[in-house]
């Protein structure tokens, strides 16, 4: 695509990078067919190509974001299916991230939206505040229909998404969980924010698998939210600050006893951490260290799949529908490993039809765009039902919560199944099912 940025505009490294991305697009439109919002809405402006044009127009003309453009940018899930499809290697992720930051800087949203986004940005990345807010959400749940009626649909969606049971807190950092037997490796595990509050059992399962196979696990001091929640809201500085905190935390371990990998059980967070090198590339104090951290980041399935001789004990050969989280399949290009390791653990793994399409979770999307998110969830649940699984496995807490809200079939993280298959407890969501097998 031809662009016409001035030299002065290109002096801004963000604009220069976006210009490169825009030039790579040959506007062939292949990406539209796999874009969930285009599939649902059929509007070119809600397709990757349409959004690329809108972003080009804003950036090239130094135009502030407008009420006409912002809804199309906001409706993008950042699912990155378009990146998988694109034959020209257009790095849509970095382009939409830049566009979101531009919207945040140049557009004043309606009051309710501003408040809502500010609350999300403050509460979700903070474990203590988030835990407290879940108690409040639990009490306010019956008000959801009323909030829908008065037009506060996103608040109603948040209440509906809040779990009815809040599990006891999992292990918190800092701590070191020693390997059982001879130590064969040493990894850091991201504790993070939301996942550690609503699904602490996932990291606990990962820790048991790793330590059982001789891997020491470190929850590094000072590590916390990866920054992706605020990043997707266009709050660039807050996202970079979160990234710097984590880089500091993990560098302490890398330069101390050393790390073989930094493992992440929430693939949305993993995609962001793997991008730390890019995010902090213009920060002279952090660029090099951010690159080192990003190079060590792995999805937990990548690492576990490489463990020699998984110590599998007998488990029922349940049929598992594997849902590939977008951040994992499109963001990190990891499609094989989680399924391989589930198969090695004795499960019968089935792909979900139309598996490239997002479930509608997408970070905070299911709160901010509840109607589209629901339509995608219902579509996903119907596709899953076609393979008649006993259980659904997804490698991202957002997808687990989203899909579980639309089906009676239990939804778990692959590590919960692998832990069970290698001698750990039955996953909580499967207890009733296992009693009847």
Min separation Cβ 345 and ligand SF4, Å: 31
Burial of 109 (0-12, 13-18, 19+ CB in 10 A): middle
Instruction: Compute the half-sphere exposure of residue 257: CA atoms within 13 Å on the CB side of its CA.
Output: 11
Min separation Cβ 361 and ligand SF4, Å: 12
Q: How many residues bind ligand SF4 (CB under 6 A)?
A: 25
Q: Which is nearer to ligand SF4, 60 or 340 (CB)?
A: 60
Min separation Cβ 324 and ligand SF4, Å: 14
Instruction: Show contacts with ligand SF4 in window 40-79 (CB under 6 A).
Output: 48-49, 51, 76-79
Terminal CA-CA length for the chain: 58
- 84 and 356 in contact (C-beta within 8 Å)? yes
Q: Which is nearer to ligand SF4, 49 or 236 (CB)?
A: 49
304 vs 244: CA distance, rounded Å:
27
Instruction: Show contacts with ligand SF4 in window 13-42 (CB under 6 A).
Output: 25-31, 35-37
Instruction: Give the Å distances, CA to CA, from 365 to 85, 118, 250, 253, 370.
Output: 22, 15, 29, 34, 7
Min separation Cβ 26 and ligand SF4, Å: 5
Q: Which is nearer to ligand SF4, 82 or 411 (CB)?
A: 82
Min separation Cβ 358 and ligand SF4, Å: 7
Min separation Cβ 433 and ligand SF4, Å: 33
Min separation Cβ 47 and ligand SF4, Å: 7
- 137 and 129 in contact (C-beta within 8 Å)? no
> Which helix or strand (DSSP H or E) is residue 365 part of?
helix 365-368
Q: Which is nearer to ligand SF4, 37 or 422 (CB)?
A: 37
Pairing type for strands 297-299 and 261-264 reads parallel
How many residues are given for the chain?
Answer: 437
Q: Which is nearer to ligand SF4, 40 or 176 (CB)?
A: 40
Contacts of 292 (CB under 8 A, 6+ apart): 251, 254
Q: Which is nearer to ligand SF4, 46 or 223 (CB)?
A: 46
Residue 86 engages ligand SF4 in binding (rule: CB under 6 A):
yes
Q: Is 42 left (phi over 0), alpha (psi -120 to 50) or beta?
A: left
Min separation Cβ 32 and ligand SF4, Å: 7
> Which helix or strand (DSSP H or E) is residue 411 part of?
strand 411-412
Q: Which is nearer to ligand SF4, 34 or 345 (CB)?
A: 34
Pick from 98, 103, 125, 102: nearest CA to 114: 103
Q: Which is nearer to ligand SF4, 60 or 248 (CB)?
A: 60
Write out the residues near ligand SF4 by the rule CB under 6 A: 25-31, 35-37, 48-49, 51, 76-82, 85-86, 88, 90, 92
């Amino acid at each position: 695509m031809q662009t016409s940025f001035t030299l002065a505009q290109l002096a801004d490294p963000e604009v220069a990078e976006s210009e490169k991305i825009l030039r790579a697009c040959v506007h062939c439109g292949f990406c539209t067919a796999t874009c969930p919002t285009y599939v649902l809405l059929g509007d070119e402006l809600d397709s990757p190509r349409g959004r690329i044009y809108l972003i080009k127009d804003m950036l090239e003309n130094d135009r502030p974001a407008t009420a006409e453009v912002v809804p199309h940018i906001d409706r993008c899930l950042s699912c990155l299916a378009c990146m998988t499809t694109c034959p020209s290697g257009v790095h849509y992720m970095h382009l939409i991230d830049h566009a979101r930051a531009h919207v945040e800087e140049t557009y004043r949203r309606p009051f309710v939206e501003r408040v809502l986004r500010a609350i999300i940005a403050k509460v979700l990345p903070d474990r203590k505040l988030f835990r407290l807010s879940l108690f409040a959400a639990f009490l306010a749940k019956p008000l959801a229909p009323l909030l829908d009626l008065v037009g506060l649909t996103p608040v109603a969606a948040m209440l509906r998404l809040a779990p009815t049971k809040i599990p006891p807190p999992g292990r918190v950092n800092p701590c070191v969980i020693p390997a059982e037997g001879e130590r064969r490796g040493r990894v850091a595990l991201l504790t993070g924010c939301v996942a550690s509050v609503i699904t602490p059992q996932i990291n606990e399962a990962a820790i048991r698998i790793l330590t059982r196979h001789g891997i020491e696990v470190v929850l590094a001091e000072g590590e916390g939210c990866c920054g992706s929640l605020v990043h997707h809201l266009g709050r660039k500085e807050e996202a970079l600050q979160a990234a710097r905190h984590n880089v500091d935390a993990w560098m302490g371990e890398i330069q101390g006893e050393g790390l073989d990998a930094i493992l992440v059980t929430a693939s949305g967070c993993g995609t962001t951490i793997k991008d730390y090198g890019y995010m902090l590339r213009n920060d002279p104090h952090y660029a090099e260290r951010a690159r080192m951290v990003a190079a060590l980041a792995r999805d937990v399935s990548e690492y576990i799949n490489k463990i020699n001789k998984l110590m599998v004990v007998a488990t029922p050969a349940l049929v598992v529908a594997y849902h590939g989280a977008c951040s994992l399949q499109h963001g990190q290009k990891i499609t094989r490993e989680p399924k391989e390791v589930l198969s090695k653990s004795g499960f019968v793994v089935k792909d979900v039809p139309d598996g490239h399409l997002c479930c509608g979770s997408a970070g905070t999307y299911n709160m901010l765009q509840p109607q589209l998110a629901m339509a995608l969830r219902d579509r996903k649940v119907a596709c899953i039902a076609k393979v008649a699984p006993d259980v659904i496995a997804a490698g991202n807490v957002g997808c687990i919560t989203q899909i579980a809200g639309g089906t009676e079939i239990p939804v778990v993280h692959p590590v919960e199944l692998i832990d069970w298959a290698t001698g750990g407890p039955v996953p909580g969501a499967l207890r009733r099912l296992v009693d009847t097998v």
